[in-house]
Amino acid sequence: MTDFIAGLPKCELHLHIEGTLEPELKFELAERNGIELPYASVEEIRAAYSFDDLPSFLKIYYEGMDVLRTEPDFYDLAMAYLRKAASQNVRYAEIFFDPQAHTSRGVPFDIVIRGLRRALIDAENRLGIKAQLIMCFLRDFQAEYAMATLLSSLPYREWIVGVGLDSDEKGNPPVKFKAVYERARQEGYLLTMHCDVDQENSTEHIRQAIEEIGVDRIDHGVNSLEDPALVEAIRARGLGLTVCPISNGYVTDSMKADAIRRMLDLGLRVTVNSDDPAYFAGYVQENLVALADALSLSREDLVQLERNAFEITWLPRHVKDAYL
């Protein structure tokens, strides 16, 4: 089945570009920027990746990105991911970036987005992989900072397909960002947000995302299965769910494979993605293989997962149809 998965044209819809920063590149960028890392080797960095919930992961994730300082750093980061994705037969990716994780430490928005954008263009021309950017707000910062970030993105509106919401969910419900999301929609952005797995108030957050924010997609959203009304709302609206099996295994007690099986059986538009592959040790291929092993997925199941993914992309209909 590994070979079948490798040959399948794939799509990645839940991928934090800062979460693709591999230890090798971390060292290279630290040296380039004259930064002393508190680790002596790639192995030492990997050994420090110990987390068992979302906050413990986020701490290491934010520390790690301090080496990203210049436009070429962001270019190299995105290019390395796109090369890896293309090698796994990923044909299209929608890539999250966290501008506030950079502007909050003095790196301008313009530097971040220009580096990422240039990599996307080069990758499409040289590797044939297509990608678009989704700008995420950090939900543990104030809504006013998210609004300011939204406004600073407007000169680059054509380079960003939509907005998302990530970081620590505890105490930071979707409605905190209602005004930001309303403005984002007015500006023509598509809307998604994380409803992370097994959070405090998970089902209430999913309800808010659907009913009060009116999202076009949900990132994770696994806990929707606990409430038949949510399942029905997701089905009725045709909302996609970007689920990340290996990531689930790191930040909760399991990959949530059985939940993914149920979502498939319910006919929901569930997809398989990698989240933060440099930290969770698995890109899309490894996530699909892990899930296929856990559930004994058939070829039809795997094709369905990728059909779901291409179907829920934020591409124009005629472009989408060319992949399907």
- Binding-site residues for substrate, in ranges, read 276
Query: Cβ(192)–Cβ(135) under 8 Å?
Result: no
Q: How far apart are CA 125 and CA 122, in angstroms?
A: 5
Measured from the CB atom, the residue of 14 and 207 that comes closer to ligand HPA is 14
Give the number of C-alpha atoms closer than 13 A to the C-alpha of residue 26, restricted to the C-beta side.
26
Closest approach of Cβ 270 to Zn ion, in Å? 15
DSSP structural state of residue 197: T
Please classify residue 142 by burial: count the beta carbons closer than 10 Å to its beta carbon, then call 0-12 exposed, 13-18 middle and 19+ buried.
exposed
The verdict on 98 binding Zn ion (CB under 5 A) reads no
The verdict on 12 binding ligand HPA (CB under 6 A) reads no
Q: Using only the alpha carbons of the chain, give its radius of gyration.
A: 18
Measured from the CB atom, the residue of 91 and 149 that comes closer to ligand HPA is 149
**Site size with ligand HPA, rule: CB under 6 A:** 11
The set of residues, in sequence order, having a beta carbon less than 8 Å from that of 300 and lying 6+ positions away, is none
Amino acid at 255: M
Instruction: Pick out the residues of the known binding site for Zn(2+).
Output: 14, 16, 194, 275
Give the phi and the psi of residue 257 in degrees, each rounded to 5. Answer: -60, -40
Closest approach of Cβ 136 to Zn ion, in Å? 8
Give the phi and the psi of residue 220 in degrees, each rounded to 5. Answer: 75, -105
The verdict on 94 binding ligand HPA (CB under 6 A) reads no
Measured from the CB atom, the residue of 37 and 245 that comes closer to Zn ion is 245
The verdict on 61 binding ligand HPA (CB under 6 A) reads yes
The verdict on 71 binding ligand HPA (CB under 6 A) reads no
Closest approach of Cβ 128 to ligand HPA, in Å? 27
Q: Binder to ligand HPA among 94, 276, 286, 306 (CB under 6 A)? A: 276
Q: Binder to ligand HPA among 84, 194, 207, 269 (CB under 6 A)? A: 194
Amino acid at 262: R
Q: How far apart are CA 301 and CA 265, in angstroms?
A: 10
Residues 18-57 contacting ligand HPA, CB under 6 A: 19, 54
Rounded to the nearest 10 degrees, the angle between the axes of helix 143-153 and helix 109-127 is 50
**Site size with Zn ion, rule: CB under 5 A:** 1
Unique residue bearing structure tokens 């920063």? 21
Measured from the CB atom, the residue of 8 and 167 that comes closer to ligand HPA is 167
Closest approach of Cβ 63 to ligand HPA, in Å? 13
The verdict on 196 binding Zn ion (CB under 5 A) reads no
Residue numbers at the binding site for ligand HPA (CB under 6 A): 16, 19, 54, 61, 166-167, 194, 196, 247, 275-276
Residue numbers at the binding site for Zn ion (CB under 5 A): 275
